[in-house]
Amino acid sequence: MGRNALIAGNWKLNLDHHEALHLIRDLGLRLNQLELSKVEVAVHPPFTDLRTVQTIVEGDKLPISLGAQHVSHHAKGAYTGEVSTTMLAKLKTQYVLVGHSERRALFGMDDQLVQQTAAAVIAEGMSAVICVGESAEEREAGEMTAVLERQTLAAVRGLPATAADAIVLAYEPVWAIGTGQAATAEDAQHAASFLRETLSSSLGKAAADSIRILYGGSVQPQNTEELLGGPDVDGVLVGGASLNGATFAEIVAAAVRCYG
């Protein structure tokens, strides 16, 4: 399909801006030794680290794209504690995670808010990394595809096919996040293929074929190559293993082996 890989690190609520500086320098040195023409690397630090990471990435010309973990769907105004898409775009942020399961479960982000946030991110010229995934209970109840379909269709509702360039979908089964129990490569491919069909029903086949679909949940250097083996899996979204430069660079190296 000609889709390049995206290897994204979600730092979650970890690393202050000093720690971020060390990690990004270390990661940059390691990535500079890899051939990254078909593999893109992104990091999603906490808000307070973004300016530091941006400065180092630009100054040292590191092959790293900048991402955020969340953003407000409001443009500006009396919304204490929020950060806007304009503020992120000004820092040359390229990607924003939207609807991570932790935001959905712990901070009340529902499908409608996911849709509004994704639209705001795209309108500002950034890409939305829309996260979807079923819980263990939903999976056991046989509701996996219904949940994935509902979350995906809600997130892209109202978007034109031309927005495909600005959409990444991340399949992150909740039961695999932070548990050490990653999905199998077959499970990841099965879900990714279903998600692509779902995108196709809403945005059309050409758009769906161009959208990168990532897998996330207990990704490690050891399971990356296998997970990337599925034809519909175009990258990984990494939590814990992205907090160490050597480990995250090993995951990127595994993707380089797959994509050449």
CB closest to ligand 13P, residue no:
239
CB of 138 to ligand 13P, least distance (A): 17
- The DSSP code sequence of 192-252 is HHHHHHHHHHHH-HHHHHHSEEEEESS--HHHHHHHTTSTT--EEEESGGGSSHHHHHHHH
Please report whether residue 191 would count as binding ligand 13P according to CB under 6 A: no
- Which lies closer to ligand 13P via its Cβ, residue 251 or residue 253? 251
Stretch that binds ligand 13P, among 72-80, 139-147, 210-218, 250-258 (CB under 6 A): 210-218
Q: Does 10 bind ligand 13P (CB under 6 A)?
A: yes
In the bound state with ligand 13P, the residue whose beta carbon lies nearer, of 29 and 105, is 105
Query: Is 172 a known active-site residue?
Result: yes
* CA gap 135, 172 in Å, rounded: 9
Question: Has 100 been annotated as catalytic?
Answer: yes
In this structure, how many other beta carbons lie within 10 angstroms of the beta carbon of residue 43? 26
| Closer to ligand 13P by Cβ: residue 161 or 185 | 185
User: Is there binding between residue 216 and ligand 13P (CB under 6 A)?
Assistant: yes
Handedness of CA 233, 237, 241, 246 (dihedral sign): positive
Torsion of CA 155, 157, 160, 165, to 10 degrees: 10
Contact with ligand 13P (CB under 6 A) among 28, 217, 230, 245: 217
CA 124, distance to chain mean position in Å, is 18
User: Which positions are catalytic?
Assistant: 100, 172
Residues that bind ligand 13P (CB under 6 A): 10, 100, 172, 177-178, 216-219, 237-241
